């Protein structure tokens, strides 16, 4: 008996409950089901009118299949933030779990630039685009950084297999298992400042930034763009990954503060008074997404 569709339905119903009884037990059973090898298969599914080809052995794909969204809180926040006609950068687009919904939200008058340098993920994103009819997505196979128009080899991870193995040790450092799952990518690096100038962009309204510890490099290469357009940013903060990339999250947040950005909670849009304290509270291996806005509170 194929339990995938009933379980997907029950997960979505459970998430909507005001109270969630037996949460710990149900999470344990849910993960036991996901890690069963017999459930690792390909599936085509329509989610909110968008078709995806999903590999149920992948965390991102299985989350979309069973829960209706990768990172539901992030998806909800982007739905509130993206407006018709907006220009959006999806930096770390992966297989398009946020790219395609963003394209639907901004509509034919808007544009989504999807930055994804890992060939495996880029091809999956292309496949998901083929299953739909969006004309307002541009795939950009470069890695945004603080270096302009350079080439190099870098370790990026795009595939996150469902597994009982942990990728982060008790000391908060990435394990060998994490590094072995990375792809060594021959990549073109560019800065956001150079990209926006070369493409003569006259606006940039929203950025989704999730690049597993490279966020600092992206920000340093984007200062002119951020000062000019003041886009809202939805950014991942992952101390373990940032540390592995040699980044200092305190310096990153201070740089953004100097550009006039304030930090807001992803779920309820309330302002975060002490971002440093919040970062210190993040457990080893965990991450959070925050919203940044210059000036007015995001709506």
Side-by-side strand order, sheet with 150-156: 143-144, 183-190, 150-156
User: Could you tell me if residue 232 is inside a domain?
Assistant: yes
User: Could you tell me if residue 50 is inside a domain?
Assistant: no
Structural domain span for residue 272: 69-294
User: Could you tell me if residue 188 is inside a domain?
Assistant: yes
pTM: 0.82
Number of domains in the chain: 1
Please give the pLDDT value at position 72.
87
User: Could you tell me if residue 4 is inside a domain?
Assistant: no
User: Could you tell me if residue 29 is inside a domain?
Assistant: no
User: Could you tell me if residue 210 is inside a domain?
Assistant: yes
C-alpha separations of 249 from 175, 209, 256, 294 in Å: 20, 14, 11, 19
Q: Are 144 and 218 in contact (CB under 8 A)?
A: yes
- The DSSP symbol for 174 reads B
Please give the pLDDT value at position 151.
74
User: Could you tell me if residue 282 is inside a domain?
Assistant: yes
Alpha helices, H only, the chain: 4-16, 23-34, 59-67, 72-81, 99-106, 119-130, 176-180, 192-198, 215-220, 223-229, 239-244, 249-258, 275-280
Please give the pLDDT value at position 174.
46
10-residue mean pLDDT series, the chain (299 residues): 56 56 57 57 88 84 80 93 98 93 97 92 91 95 86 62 52 48 71 97 97 91 97 93 85 92 95 92 86 84
State the CATH number of the domain containing residue 172.
3.40.50.150
Per the DSSP assignment, residues forming a β-bridge with 43 are: 54
User: Could you tell me if residue 219 is inside a domain?
Assistant: yes
């Amino acid at each position: 008996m194929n339990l995938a569709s009933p379980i997907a339905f029950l997960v979505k119903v459970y998430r909507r409950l005001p109270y969630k009884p037996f949460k710990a037990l149900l999470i344990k059973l849910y993960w036991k089901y996901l890690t069963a090898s017999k459930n690792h298969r390909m599936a085509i599914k329509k989610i909110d009118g968008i078709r995806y080809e999903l590999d149920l052995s992948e965390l991102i794909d299985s989350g979309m299949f069973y829960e209706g969204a990768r990172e539901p809180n992030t998806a909800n926040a982007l739905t509130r933030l993206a407006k018709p006609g907006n220009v959006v950068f999806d930096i770390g687009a992966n297989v398009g779990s946020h790219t395609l919904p963003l394209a639907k939200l901004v509509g034919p008058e808007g544009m989504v630039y999807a930055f994804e340098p890992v060939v495996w993920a880029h091809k999956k994103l292309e496949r998901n685009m083929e299953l739909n009819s969006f004309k307002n997505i541009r795939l950009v196979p470069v890695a945004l950084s603080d270096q302009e128009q350079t080439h190099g080899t870098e370790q990026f991870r795009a595939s996150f297999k469902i597994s009982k193995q942990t990728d982060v040790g008790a000391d908060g450092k990435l394990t060998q298992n994490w590094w072995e799952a990375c792809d060594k990518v021959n990549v073109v690096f560019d800065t956001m400042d150079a990209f926006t100038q070369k493409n003569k962009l006259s606006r940039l309204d929203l950025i989704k930034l999730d690049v597993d510890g490279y966020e600092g490099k992206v920000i340093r290469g984007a200062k002119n763009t951020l000062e000019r357009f003041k886009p809202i940013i939805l950014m991942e903060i992952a101390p373990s990954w940032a540390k592995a990339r040699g980044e200092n999250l305190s310096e990153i947040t201070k740089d953004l503060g100097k550009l006039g950005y304030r930090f807001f909670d992803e779920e309820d849009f309330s302002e975060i008074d002490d971002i440093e304290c919040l970062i210190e509270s993040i457990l080893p291996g965990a991450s959070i997404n925050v919203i940044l806005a210059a000036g007015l509170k995001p709506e």
